[in-house]
Each structure stands twice: as C-alpha cells, then as structure tokens.
Amino acid sequence: MRSLKLDTPKSLSQRVMQRLRQAIIDGEFALGAAISEEMVANSFGVSRTPVREAMGQLQAQGLVVIRPQVGSFVFTPSADDIAALCTFRIALEPKAAELAFRHDRDGAVATMSEAIAAMEPAVSARDNIAYGRADAAFHEALFTHCGNRYLVESYQLVSGRVAALRTNLTSPIDVRTRTSFDEHRKLLDLFARGEFAAFEALMTTHITNSGVVYAKALKVEALKVE
C-alpha cells in the first residue's frame, strides 16, 4: 500500500491566485486590463514563478487571457460570450433552486436572507463592491445547498466571470436603483414558498436584463477605446 500523506498548506501560487482572483472580481483590475507579472511579483514580494502559475490557474477559470510574447490580460467577453453565459445561467439556476428547496430549504433561505441583508446597506452606501459580493452570495447559495456536486462544479466554471461582470458593470447601476434589490427579495419569497414556475420566470428576466447591461456597457467601453 502506498504511504498516505496529509494535505500540504495552500501553495504560494494558490494564495497569489486567490488574491488576484478577488482583485479582478472587485474591479481592482478593469476588464481587459493588462496584468504585469513583474508588478504582481514585486507587490506580493514573491518570485515570478508562483505568479506565472497563478496566471495559468486564472486562465483556466476564464478570468485571464494569456497572450504568448504579449502579456496577460483580464478577460473581456464578446456579445456572443455574454449571450452564451446568460443562457447557461438560465438553464442551471432554476434547477439548482428546485434541488436546494428539496435538499436544504432552510439552509438556502438563511444564506439568501443573509445576502439580502448585506445588500441593503450596500445600496444605501452606494458600495458596488459590497453589493456585488452579496449578489454573488445570493446566487451561489442555490448551488451551495442543492446537494449536487456536478451542478456546483458546473457553476464554478463561470462564477468568477459572472462576479467580475457584476462588480464592473451591473453593481454600479444596482446601487443607484432598487430594481435589482427588489428582484432578489421577490426571488427569495418565491423560493421560500416553492413557487418555481414564477421563480424561473423572474430569474430568467433577471439574468437576461443583466446580460443586456453587460452588452451595452462593453459596447460603450469599446467606443471609448476607438
């Protein structure tokens, strides 16, 4: 029998990756921005090797695009990417909600309620980062409590990109109006009562509207560059 070993602590590259991932999600690096390996290495006080490994992990998550001989850049989705992303979420999130209701209704309601409680002060303070984090927690709760690891793994493929798009593009609008906040409260109410036809309809509208905002905002940014 092969000897068994305890898991080692998180590697340096994993810690660098997690910090860069959060920086991208929080908008510290704008969509499409260049990320200098040298700058990151100097900032973290590490060599370029763990930074390069972290970039590779972020590329696998779709958050970074590495162009050989050119550099590393934060992802920038196309209109087709946004449409595909929204279609993916519309297919997965209502199903995850139904499973979460059956598997751990009380836990899901508690987590979603906590997220909504965090949204309220974020709207008042117009804190788009705090709002974006709470928004992400609300949607992720459906998967955390669904009891199906394959659905969880599927959502993890896009969760970082969705979170980054929220913070960069929709949260600045959401904290100036209560439309998104009110929709989340209604979604929680429908979920808690098990009204899944209405939940799916509202979630579809919610995600579709987000996609429209993403596309418009990216088009505006593209025009600025031109």
Span 134-143, pLDDT tens digits:
999 999 999 9
d(CA 200, CA 158): 20
Residue 30 has pLDDT above 60, yes or no: yes
Residues above pLDDT 70, as percent of the chain: 92
Side chain identity at 148, as an amino acid letter? N
Residue 150 has pLDDT above 70, yes or no: yes
User: What is the pTM for the complete model shown?
Assistant: 0.84
Average pLDDT, the chain: 88
Please give the CATH topology (third level) of the domain spanning 10-74. Answer: Arc Repressor Mutant, subunit A (1.10.10)
pLDDT at 225 (0 to 100): 46
Q: Where are the domains of the chain?
A: 10-74, 79-223
* Spatial contact of 46 and 12, defined as CB atoms under 8 Å apart: yes
pLDDT at 201 (0 to 100): 97
Torsion of CA 56, 60, 61, 65, to 10 degrees: 70
pLDDT digits (tens, 9 = 90+) for 78-114: 889 999 999 999 999 999 999 999 999 999 999 999 9
pLDDT at 3 (0 to 100): 44
Please give the CATH topology (third level) of the domain spanning 79-223. Answer: Four Helix Bundle (Hemerythrin (Met), subunit A) (1.20.120)
Three-class SS string for the chain? CCCCCCCCCCCHHHHHHHHHHHHHHCCCCCCCCEECHHHHHHHHCCCHHHHHHHHHHHHHCCCEEEECCCEEEECCCCHHHHHHHHHHHHHHHHHHHHHHHHHHHHHHHHHHHHHHHHHHHHHHHCCHHHHHHHHHHHHHHHHHCCCCHHHHHHHHHHHHHHHHHHHHHHHHHHCCCCHHHHHHHHHHHHHHHCCHHHHHHHHHHHHHHHHHHHHHHHHHHHHHHC
Task: Tell me the pLDDT band of 222, cut-offs 50, 70 and 90.
Answer: low
pLDDT at 102 (0 to 100): 97
Max mean pLDDT range (43-57, 178-192, 204-218): 178-192
